[in-house]
Amino acid sequence: MSLLLTIQAAHGGLKVASEGINVVGHNTANATSDGYSRRTMVSTAAHPLQRGGHWLGQGAKTMQFLRQSDVFVERQIVKNHGQQTRAKTAFESIRMLEAQLSDGAKGSLVEGYNHFIDSLKQLTEDPGDTIFRSQLLTDAENFTNSVQEVGRFLDDRQQSVREDLELAMSEINALSESIAEHNRRIRRSSNTMSNSDLIDQRDRLIAEVSKLIGVEVHFKADNQATVFFNGHPLVQGIGSRDLSYSEDSVGRPVFFLETNSGQIDVTAGLKGEFGGKLDAYDASQDLLDDLDTFVIDFSTDFNTQHASGFDLNGNAGGDFFSFNSIAPTTSFSVDSTLLSDVTLIAAAGAATAEYGDRDNLDLLLDIDEVAMFSSGAYTPRQFLTSIYADLAKKVAENEMDYEMYTTQITDMFDLRSSISGVDLDQEAMKLMEYQASYEAAARVLTVSNQLLGELMQLL
């Protein structure tokens, strides 16, 4: 073997060790980067040289850089992101509704209703008493105010959801375009370290989209990713489709995927943050619908009975509550005429309207016992309680979903980490290995160079 070949082999060794150190450097630098897949370098013996019937080694060379990842795990993570973020957003948002209903607090719906009924009962003890009458109107007003307040909060929440979702549309479309652009750049680049970096960046973008709307991804052999949303391609190769925001006739957000043949309604397939927000929007709507039902049915029955009685002046009663049919909950209030004159409370059952006549009050109190809601299943109080129970159930369900999906995604992340994660100890050992290899190659080079020098002096 000639000294020149030895120098060449040592040079190859230096190059491989140097590239190995470079890989270790890249890995350690990205040890905490989200979505980074560790690189490994594969080196091999350089092709030998045949001379005089012998095969002479030419050192080592870098064969390839591998990006350590598992397609199944990556796909599952993308899928789980959508489910977990949806449950998390829904849980946090609906929990906020539960806090607003403030169970057990003085201003809460059920407590407000209870105080109103208590005042009504107290008035039966002294139906003509002005203070008791004022107290009844105050408690009725407190109750209607708490219903209104919850209604306005729900309206605000829904409006915020609409605005959030509409504003985030451009973010999603920009992400889709960016994924398509990364696909294009990956297709154009060769299988190098930079290619792997592009794939990592693209996969991180896909995870971001999944966190927002929930998508699934398919990877092809040429490293191209196709992103599916609700079964429809959102990004395919270097092309992407836009999502657009709209609202239906009652103001509920709807989402369309733009295709060449028109728009596809993909609202039902929403997951991620959008899906969670839409769940919260629907929970708010369910609450509003329930409260609207309560206000309409309870007020109508109460007003009808109140009108059957007689006030302290012997006149037939008017409306006790008022509301408008377009927004019953947020317009629910005590009749303004009644508020201005406590004598107008129709407690008496006869036009003689004796001071202590409580006949109509008894009938008004009976309404509290009438199962008028949910096809005769609930009394007014039970119906209000069921609103709390339903909401609490929704919060608990979403919390359970959130915990379940968090466990799933944590397991997947652990699995991903075991495959793609950077272990600093392992990198440190590789660094020592490459360092030793580099030092050895350098030593061979130095010795070969000295020998060659001595040989040259002989000339």
Question: C-beta of 110: minimal distance to another protein in Å?
Answer: 6
Minimum CB distance to another protein smaller for 55 or for 355: 355
Which residue in the set 124, 138, 236, 408 belongs to the binding site for another protein (CB under 8 A)?
A: 124
Return the range that interacts with another protein (CB under 8 A); candidates 145-153, 189-197, 353-361, 450-458. 353-361
Using a CB cutoff of 8 Å and minimum separation of 24, what contacts does 28-33 make?
28/422, 28/424, 28/427, 30/422, 31/422, 31/424, 31/427, 33/200
Site for another protein in 30-69 (CB under 8 A): 31-32
Out of 63, 174, 351, 428, name the contact with another protein by CB under 8 A: 428
Q: Does 399 bind another protein (CB under 8 A)?
A: yes
Helix, strand or coil, per DSSP, at residue 264: strand
CB of 137 to another protein, least distance (A): 19
Whose CA is closest to 391, among 75, 105, 107, 91? 91
Burial of 132-152, coded b for 16+ CB within 10 Å and e otherwise, reads bbebbbebbebbbebbbbbbe
Residue 439 found at the interface with another protein (CB under 8 A): no
> Does 393 interact with another protein (rule: CB under 8 A)?
yes
Q: How far is the CB of 348 from another protein (least distance, A)?
A: 9
CB of 105 to another protein, least distance (A): 12
By the rule CB under 8 A, 134 interacts with another protein: no
Task: List C-alpha distances in Å: 250 to 94, 116, 253, 284, 288.
Answer: 21, 33, 9, 13, 13
| Single residue of 22, 122, 138, 408 touching another protein by CB under 8 A | 122
Can residue 410 be called a binding residue for another protein (CB under 8 A)?
Answer: yes
Give whichever of 219 and 388 is closer to another protein, judged by the CB atom.
Answer: 388
Comparing CB distances to another protein, the nearer of 216 and 311 is 311
Signed CA dihedral, 160, 164, 166, 167: sign only: positive
- The reply on whether position 418 binds another protein by CB under 8 A is yes
Q: How far is the CB of 93 from another protein (least distance, A)?
A: 13
Q: DSSP 3-state assignment of 227?
A: strand
Q: In the complex, what is the shortest distance from the CB of residue 291 to another protein, in angstroms, rounded to a whole number?
A: 17
Runs of H (alpha helix) within 239-314: 272-308
168 in contact with another protein (CB under 8 A): no
What minimum distance in Å lies between the beta carbon of 248 and another protein?
29
Q: Does 185 bind another protein (CB under 8 A)?
A: no
Closest residue by Cα to residue 288 from 387, 142, 395 = 387
Maximum CA pair distance of the chain? 142
- For 34, the 3-state DSSP assignment is coil
Q: Tell me the angle at which helices 193-213 and 71-101 cross, rounded to the nearest 10 degrees.
A: 30
Contact between residue 391 and residue 283 where contact means Cβ atoms under 8 Å apart: yes
Question: Using CA atoms, how far apart are residues 109 and 148, in angstroms rounded to an integer?
Answer: 10
Least gap, CB of 73 to another protein (angstroms)? 12
**Cα gap 352→312, rounded to integer Å:** 9
| Residues in 3-32 that interact with another protein by CB under 8 A | 28, 31-32
Closer residue to another protein, CB minimum distance, 155 or 354: 354
The residue among 67, 62, 40 whose CA lies nearest residue 199 is: 67
The distance in angstroms from the start CA to the end CA of the chain is 20
Task: Give the range of 1-9, 302-310, 348-356, 443-451 binding another protein by CB under 8 A.
Answer: 348-356
Sequential DSSP letters for 38-92: -EEEEEEEPPPEEETTEEE---EEEEEEEE---HHHHHHHHHHHHHHHHHHHHHH
Site string for another protein, 101-120 (x = CB under 8 A): --xx-----x---x---x--
**Residue ranges in contact with another protein by CB under 8 A:** 28, 31-32, 95, 98-99, 103-104, 110, 114, 118, 121-122, 124-126, 128-129, 354-358, 381-382, 385-386, 388-389, 391-393, 395-396, 399, 410, 413-415, 417-419, 421-426, 428-429, 431-432
